[in-house]
Chain A
């Protein structure tokens, strides 16, 4: 059986492409190695709505939403101190929501099937199939070959297929981080709400720097699902040598930190996992996003925006999937020449514009001193300012004392802060 389009991966990117194409009458198949869509996927917890309204407006009607985020928190955390900034929105605003990725993906796959595309699960694609001219003509799983006019690669960050096809080199540690995550379930969702100061169905997104990753680039995160918490740490692979604690223990140290432990007391562990995430954004993109017969979308293409505090992969994945579908709809043939329209669409959209803008975020975020210095200096300075003894300090004195105690240079920190303001 020959399909118009074969899509590898039932993640947000692949499913968004499948939905658009099937809705326009294309014969589409999605191949997914997991038991069900989402079975192999893990993320932090939050999806941004702004661009979804443009690329997948259906989500407003009936996509699962655990909580709309109305509180954003950022903390600098040390062994014994935490400095937290919170932004709270009091209107019932709906700009980003928390939900398990598996629930969202499962909703998306129903949409896809409703539009007439086929999703085949439990199929691991081993390779992209090329003809003698190098054009991608299908995919191979074991000894089975499936032919398709167009192939969309939505295999995610691990991109074995692109590597095997000679399109990208093996991932380098500089390009990725590993996220380790626990889902902690509460008997009663009121307990979770009371502890975090949330109204019913109100959500919290929280990023924590410093202690969670032993002051190395990356950090901790907490998101509030309906009656559970998503809690995790993200560690840049390139820093492994400086890590004193293995990542599987790092996350428990974070959960048991005296600032976090009271929040998760009594919760039971529902799931534990890990996943890589691109940290280099388009610095890890393949040389091109389109080839004869092939389009590359989502994480596999490096379409993820990461600023340390915010991480946006799902909305970029969906947008790129939709744009790939539009490109196929407009292309007269699967030649690279005709598919170049995909890149044009990416450039005209927020996807490449935003990623270009944050291109240098990666270098800054990988700077070790940034996380260490800022965390140590700011928590210590705040402590000295608020902790009154024989002497009440001015802010300046508090910072100066903190600098002495932590041996972090104020000037260097200020320069780093300016760099941050400019590129994050």
Chain B
């Protein structure tokens, strides 16, 4: 039995969004904390793979965020400034 592995990009593409390109709703307010953050839980626990490690730093792209709030809770250094996207924008679940 070999079934196809859906990459995270393929999976996210199945979703409907209304991306707020003008204002990312999540920010890393203190990138220096990421540099010294040993295990970088955000890269493990974000279901949408919004956090990607590059060297010691983290690149955050919020377009595909599913607004679960996990990164904010799991970040041990309080480095994340977290809010909902502006009214009506962001993920739009239709079948879940």
**Cβ-defined contact, B68 with A275, below 8 A:** yes
Given contacts A178-B68, A265-B3, A271-B14, contact A38 B49 (CB under 8 A): no
Is chain A's binding surface mostly helix, strand, loop or mixed? mixed
In the complex, whether B96 has a CB less than 8 A from a CB of chain A is yes
Task: Report B8 CB to chain A, min CB distance, Å.
Answer: 5
Bound Cα distance from A35 to B45, whole angstroms: 26
Binds B, one of A192-200, A246-254, A344-352: A246-254
22 A–B contact pairs at CB < 8 A?
A33-B87, A33-B88, A34-B92, A39-B91, A40-B67, A42-B66, A122-B87, A123-B87, A141-B87, A158-B69, A172-B73, A183-B96, A241-B39, A247-B44, A248-B49, A264-B3, A265-B1, A272-B14, A272-B15, A273-B15, A274-B68, A276-B69
For A243, list chain B residues within 8 Å (CB): 44-45
**Cβ-defined contact, A178 with B47, below 8 A:** yes
Bound Cα distance from A183 to B15, whole angstroms: 11
**Cβ-defined contact, A100 with B95, below 8 A:** yes
For A176, list chain B residues within 8 Å (CB): 73
- With an 8 Å Cβ cutoff, the count of chain B residues facing the other chain is 41
In the complex, whether A262 has a CB less than 8 A from a CB of chain B is yes
Task: Give residues of chain B (27-65) contacting chain A, Cβ–Cβ below 8 Å.
Answer: 39, 41, 43-49
Q: Between A and B, how many residue pairs show CB distances below 8 Å?
A: 138
**Cβ-defined contact, A274 with B47, below 8 A:** yes
Is chain B's binding surface mostly helix, strand, loop or mixed? loop
* Size bin of chain A's contact surface: 35 or more
User: Closest residue of chain A to B82, judged by CB?
Assistant: A160
In the complex, whether A410 has a CB less than 8 A from a CB of chain B is no
**Cβ-defined contact, B1 with A246, below 8 A:** no
Bound Cα distance from A185 to B41, whole angstroms: 32
For A123, list chain B residues within 8 Å (CB): 87
Task: Report A120 CB to chain B, min CB distance, Å.
Answer: 10
In the complex, whether A114 has a CB less than 8 A from a CB of chain B is no
**Cβ-defined contact, A39 with B45, below 8 A:** no
**Cβ-defined contact, A273 with B66, below 8 A:** yes
